[in-house]
Structures are given as structure tokens and as C-alpha cells.
Amino acid sequence: MDARLPDSAKSTVRAKHRFGYRGNMFMLFLGRRFPAVGYFAVGVVSLGFWLFNRQARLAAMQFQERVKGIHNRGRLYWHSYQQVRMFGVLLLDRSVALASANAGITVASDHRDRLKRALDLQRGLLILTAHFGALEIATPWLRPHIEPAKMHFVMYRDFSDSTEQFHQDQWKMLQGMRFINSTDPLAAGLQIMGALRQKQYVGIRADRVMDGRKVQVSLLGDNVYLPAGPFTAAVIGKAAVITAFTLRESPRHYRMFVSEPRIYDADHGLSRDELVAKAAQDYAADLEALLRKYPHQWANFYDFWSGHATAIETSNTNSETTMPET
């Protein structure tokens, strides 16, 4: 089966959130007090989204066909629905985990030594992640290792949106950490560079191209584009770079995967553009290895292999930044 998206798909990646403040508060209440009921509600809502958003459904089927090698239509339907449902589960767990230190959600990791090695380099640290799993769930786990005031998350934040206001009010575990708002790419790029030059830490999603420069990589057997901004920041900022993903292994149990730290500088004997390309391909290789193990946890519901972002209505967070040429 070839699950193709229609050429007419032109929906924006930065779609409006649904449900608003009260709806999110209600789901948070269910997730904290009656988690089984909360997950059931997520399943129902996800089924409606899967049924009535044809573009997102086809995109999930296309991805499952590619990552799992499935061609049977019935199996593709099932796995694409599981991908949509898991997106809802991750959102619910993320809100529960960030609302309280005693959320009952655990994060394990075998890679504490890798994080320590990255911090011991005494450089700015760029933490590359994706719309994959829920990195923020690991925030309580990270706090003993990373000084909160030095941690910056790059996010697309529209404070006129009631769901963004909910995040601001309820995600108490992120208090003390800083946010770089990517609604203004140039300003975001300057803030990222400033943080890295002060030997601070920046977390950014690097798997979704919006506008601006992009870099080609190989992912799941084909060439695709990633935003050049995060990888340019790694090179210009002379930062230590790790990839980090927090992935759900079972109900209320997550595992954080961290790569060995990498530095992209002149010692490689490569030009700046070549270093940017290498950083992007290293990231893509790390991402692919885990996508194959956790294929339901990627939240890119658009035709990723078309070279541009279309046909998505999930979250309006985005990480694309325009890096200043310095």
C-alpha cells in the first residue's frame, strides 16, 4: 500500500490547540486522580481525530509503512491509530509529570554518565530532541544534574492561546527554567547563541522544518530536510551536543536516552557547512535508531518526506530558528 497525502494539503503546522484551559484542567484532573479513565478518554478523543483528520491519518500510515515495513491496509490503520493515541497519552503524562513532583511517573536512564561527561566539558550544551516521546517529563530527573536557571527550552509559545496559558500556570516543575520563544526566529537565534556562549544549556526540537535554511540528511532510507538552525548553533556556538529523548516504555514508566557528547569544530578538518551537515546527520542517525524501536511515539503527522511541513493539527510547538551569521 502507498499511503499518499493529497497534494492540496496546506494546513499550517502551527495549528490552534483544542479544548482550551478548562478542557486541559479537566484532563489533568483525570490524569492525576483517575489515570485509567484519563487514558480511556484520550483513546476516544484520538479515535475521533484519527477518523476525521484524513491528512493526519494518511501521514501516520505513510510513516508506519516506512518504519515498520507494513503494507497491509488493516495493519496500517491499526498502527496509525496507535500513533495518534500515543500522542494523546504522551501529552497527558507530560502535563501530569510537570504539574507535581509526586506525579507517580518514573524516568529511568542508563546514560547519566554521558550527561555528566557533557557537563564536565565546561562548554555551552545543546540538547537536541524531537517531536518524539516527551523530553520534558525528564525535567525532575534532570534537576539534580542541571542548574535550573541555566536551562533554556526553545518553544513556540503564543500566550493568547488558552492552552499555552494552562502550560504557563500548571507546569510547575519547569519553574526556574527559562524559555526561548521561537515565534520570532531571529530573536530566538540570538538568545540561543547568547546562552551557549555563557556556557548554559539549550534544549531544542530539531526534526521539523518551517521557514529558513534547511539541511539534507538521510532518514529511514530516504533524503529529508531538517532545520539548519539548531546545527548551525552547535557549530557557531562551539557547544557540546547531545541528543536526548524520553520515551514511554509502559504506563507511567519512561526511559531517557542520551547520546555521547559531540563537538563540531575545526579539528574535524571540515568547513562550517560540512560541520553543520555532519551534526545534522549524526542527529538523524540517533533519531532513526529510536524511531525503529518506538515507532508510535513520533508526533509528526504530516508528509515528512515531501520536504516541507503541511497537513498537521497537533501541537503548535516548533523549534525552527534563524541563526545569525557571526
Identify whether 3 is part of a domain: no
Structural domain total, the chain? 1
DSSP 8-64: T----SSPPPSSHHHHHHHHHHHHHH-HHHHHHHHHHHHHHHHHH-HHHHHHHHHHH
Nearest to 216 by CA among 271, 270, 274: 274
| Average pLDDT, integer, range 120-137 | 94
| Average pLDDT, integer, range 222-239 | 94
- Enter the C-alpha cell of residue 225: 530536510
CA 74 to the chain's CA centroid: 28
- Scan for cell 525503529, then name that residue: 292
| pLDDT tier, 303 (very low <50, low <70, confident <90, very high otherwise) | confident
State yes or no: pLDDT of 23 exceeds 60: yes
Identify whether 148 is part of a domain: yes
| pLDDT tier, 5 (very low <50, low <70, confident <90, very high otherwise) | very low
Q: Cα–Cα distances in Å, from 198 out to 99, 125, 189, 237, 322?
A: 30, 10, 14, 10, 19
CA distance between the termini of the chain: 48
pLDDT at 183: 82
Identify whether 191 is part of a domain: yes
How many CB atoms within 10 Å of residue 37?
12
| pLDDT tier, 314 (very low <50, low <70, confident <90, very high otherwise) | very low
Q: What are the strands, taking DSSP E only, across the chain?
A: 106-108, 125-129, 151-155, 178-181, 201-205, 214-219, 222-227, 240-250, 253-258, 262-263
- Domain hosting 296: range is 12-326
Identify whether 4 is part of a domain: no
d(C-alpha 76, C-alpha 65), whole Å: 7
- Between residues 234 and 269, which one has the greater pLDDT? 234
| Average pLDDT, integer, range 21-27 | 86
Greatest CA span in the chain, whole angstroms? 56
Identify whether 5 is part of a domain: no
Predicted TM-score (pTM) of this structure: 0.87
Taking each continuous run of H as one helix and of E as one strand, the counts in the chain are: 10, 10
Mean pLDDT of the chain: 85
Identify whether 7 is part of a domain: no
d(C-alpha 130, C-alpha 298), whole Å: 8
State yes or no: pLDDT of 230 exceeds 80: yes
Identify whether 6 is part of a domain: no
